[in-house]
């Protein structure tokens, strides 16, 4: 399981990426977004979601890279999430596991 955080600069970039993720069958279990200031104090939107199946990670990263190449730039992080047996996914991610 992986927590993916993406920061993009325009709503069009975000919409395009969300559509690509939807086509890949990625459903967001946990999602949040916040407005931040990026490079040069340019506003950007950062959001996070969980990819449960490691086999789905490569297509997700490819879609993110294409969104970054197409748009104004941005950045992303991928963090492996290890859960203790029986922990619900949303509880683990929201508690910072």
pLDDT at 96 > cutoff 50: no
User: Read out DSSP for 20-64?
Assistant: HHHHTT---SS-EEEEEE-GGG-EEEEEEEEE--GGGHHHHHHHH
At 17-27, the pLDDT tens digits run 888 888 888 76
If you search the block for the tokens 């993009």, which residue do you land on?
8
Please indicate whether residue 15 or residue 62 has the higher confidence score (pLDDT).
62
pLDDT at 94 > cutoff 80: no
Average pLDDT over every residue of 75-86: 76
Task: Give residue 84's pLDDT.
Answer: 63
The whole-angstrom separation of Cα 34 and Cα 61 is 21
Average pLDDT over every residue of 48-62: 84
At 2-17, the pLDDT tens digits run 888 887 777 777 778 8
Which domains, from first to last, does the chain contain? 2-94 (3.30.70.120)
Task: Give residue 1's pLDDT.
Answer: 80
């Amino acid at each position: 399981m992986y927590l993916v955080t993406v920061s993009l600069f325009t709503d069009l970039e975000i919409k395009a990426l969300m559509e690509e993720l939807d086509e890949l069958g990625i459903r967001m279990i946990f999602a949040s977004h916040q407005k931040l200031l990026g490079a040069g104090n340019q506003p950007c939107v950062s959001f996070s979601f969980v990819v449960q199946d490691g086999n789905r990670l490569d297509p997700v990263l490819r879609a993110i890279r294409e969104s970054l190449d197409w748009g104004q730039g941005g950045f992303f992080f991928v963090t492996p999430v290890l859960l203790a047996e029986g922990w619900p996914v949303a509880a683990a991610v929201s508690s910072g596991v």
